[in-house]
Amino acid sequence: MKLKQLILLTIFFLNVINTFAQTHTFAMADESFLLDGKPFQMISGEMHYPRVPREAWRARMKMAKAMGLNVIGTYVFWNLHEPQKGLFDFTGNNDVAEFVRIAQQEGLWVILRPSPYVCAEWEFGGYPYWLQNEKGLVVRSKEATYLKEYESYIKQIGKQLAPLQINHGGNILMVQIENEYGSYGSDKEYLAINQKLFKEAGFDGLLYTCDPAPDLVKGYLPGLLPAVNGLDNPAKVKKIIKDNHEGKGPYYIAEWYPAWFDWWGTKHHTVPAKDYAGHLDSVLAAGISINMYMFHGGTTRAFMNGANYKDETPYEPQISSYDYDAPLDEAGNATPKFMKFREVIQKYLPSDVHLPAVPAAKPAISIPSIKLTQAVNLLATLPVPKENLTPLTFEDLHQDYGFVLYKTTIQGGKSGVLKLKDLRDYAIVMVNGKKAGTLDRRLNQDSLTLTLPAGKVTLEILVENLGRINFGKYLLQNKKGITEKVLFGGIELNQWKMYSLPFNNLSKIIFNNAAVNTQSPVIRKGVFSLNSVGDTYLNLSNWGKGVVWVNGHNLGRYWNIGPQQTVYLPAEWLKKGNNEIVILELLKPGQNQLSGISKPILSQLL
């Protein structure tokens, strides 16, 4: 045999040996999970790739290892990956496959939750807005149009992630179908279709379902592992899983809540570490696998927050911070809860296994004064409108998020009640370019008394989508904007112009140094210079309501009603030298200065 052939053959066999060396198995026994045939207890933490800057994924993984986690759990978000029908995006912060690969490089397994419904305090529960434009489509059902779109989506996800399953040499241990379906429905045929679609997409490993304990019977699919959410009494966890899994385990708490999320106008939720460390201890002592929701929340940036709504409670849009009072704070630093949980987890590791040192807290900086020296009135930046007899919704305009300005002309010289029938969700009403009042769906406000000047009057209504409902039966009633009609003095107003303002591209906004009208919303721009970078928190407690961008990154919403008064600005998105900031301010257009502080303000209500 020639030397060249021998070398090639040797390389081939080395590659084969290497492949087998990296291949693992993951299976279920009656009482435990088996990794390579040996009992394996998953100690997992939930962390969502879009809520953390891509540049920081690896650092957060190292923190997970330092707390003692051996698994990372994450949802996959349909509306990120297919923002418009048929157009898929797996780039930048949407590169979920790279997120999984980094976890493997850092010695972490992954629990994958493509679902495709995720809840997650995320816009529309992860569904893309355009599903509502598909005639007859009914989410979470056997309706044909929905299943067709679902199949298209999950096959694209399969192309990205199925090769990363453990049975293909990757690090994905299990894959979840649907998500807390029992809280929504009980159609086992629909769940079986989910299973079939996942398998056809290449997810041929271990599949499971998860549901809150009261809904588990409705939401599990016989034959798959039924994981339980929100329960941490070991005896009860084991009983409910056994009762629905042929009298056996293994046992998995798919969502264990060490704290909770926040919504606008309500106090910041916190839970002391001591109140949960004992629960974690008892679960691990019982050999039960667990996934902390959340280990690290991060930030729900741009317009991607969801909202809750029930018949007995008002509309509750969630804030941009997803700090969650989690073991790892919004910026990725260890909290007292992190340290307490680490102590508990260390007890259940083999005696010869020692956790890595906890990385030091990231440096945080203060920025004494940031001045926004350029500005333009929002009403001076309008695109070409779409005209219609009656108001059009966001969906009618094929617009996903942001704002729509509705404009019409009416005869003045009179007073009356302006009524926006089924407003979704927040409106600034302007008469001849000046703010006349606001309407807030959270407060069940839909009417405003106006006194109009004489002559022809321009009526403008700027409507903000504050986040589509992400949980419950109202998933099917999630259109945004003025969704029915506008009345003044009991008479319907017609002949509307609609201006789409999604704010997904700021490059076309032309700023100037001249004074602006401070009686209507303003967009301001400034530059601040840094000698060194670090995490900071933009303090907007003196501002009103709006959105912030820095160096092109949409950092999320702010609103002085609280509890969140700061917007987290990660070091990864700053640079030495000049940095650009843009702010859309809706309520206090005269503001033009702010600061960056070293700690967040997440618990201050107006």
- Interior CA angle at 74 toward 72 and 78, to 5°? 160
Give the C-alpha distances (Å, rounded to integers) separating 452 from 394, 455, 490, 492: 28, 9, 15, 16
How many Cβ atoms sit within 10 Å of the Cβ of residue 185? 16
| Phi, psi values for residue 451, rounded to 5° | -115, 115
Residue 255 appears among annotated catalytic residues = yes
Give the C-alpha distances (Å, rounded to integers) separating 32 from 38, 227, 230, 286: 9, 13, 20, 11
Q: How far apart are CA 325 and CA 337, in angstroms?
A: 9
The answer to whether 96 touches 89, Cβ cutoff 8 Å, is no
Q: How far apart are CA 576 and CA 599, in angstroms?
A: 21
Q: Which of 121, 255, 316, 585 is catalytic?
A: 255
Looking only at the bridges linking them, the beta strands covering 423-424 and 481-482 are antiparallel
Residue 178 appears among annotated catalytic residues = no
The DSSP 8-state label assigned to residue 105 in this structure reads H
Q: How far apart are CA 474 and CA 307, in angstroms?
A: 11
Give the C-alpha distances (Å, rounded to integers) separating 339 from 72, 253, 277: 18, 21, 10
Give the C-alpha distances (Å, rounded to integers) separating 135 from 73, 85, 130, 239, 401: 34, 14, 11, 43, 21
In the structure encoding, which two tokens stand for residue 545, read together?
């309501």
542: left (phi over 0), alpha (psi -120 to 50) or beta: alpha
Write b or e for each residue in 236-275: b if 16 or more Cβ atoms lie within 10 A of its Cβ, otherwise e. ebbebbbebbeeebbbbbbbbbbbebbbbbeebbeeebee
The DSSP 8-state label assigned to residue 212 in this structure reads E
| Phi, psi values for residue 475, rounded to 5° | -55, -25
Could you tell me which residues come within 8 angstroms of residue 144 by beta carbon, excluding any fewer than 6 positions away? none
The DSSP 8-state label assigned to residue 178 in this structure reads S
In the structure encoding, which two tokens stand for residue 331, read together?
């910026």
> What stretch of H or E contains 422?
none
Q: Which of 123, 178, 180, 395 is catalytic?
A: 180
Residue closest to 457 by CA, chosen among 490, 498, 404, 414:
414
In the beta sheet, which residues pair with residue 35?
Answer: 26, 38
The answer to whether 295 touches 327, Cβ cutoff 8 Å, is yes
Q: How far apart are CA 122 and CA 521, in angstroms?
A: 27
Task: Say whether 28 sits in a helix, a strand or coil.
Answer: strand
**Residues labelled as active-site residues:** 180, 255
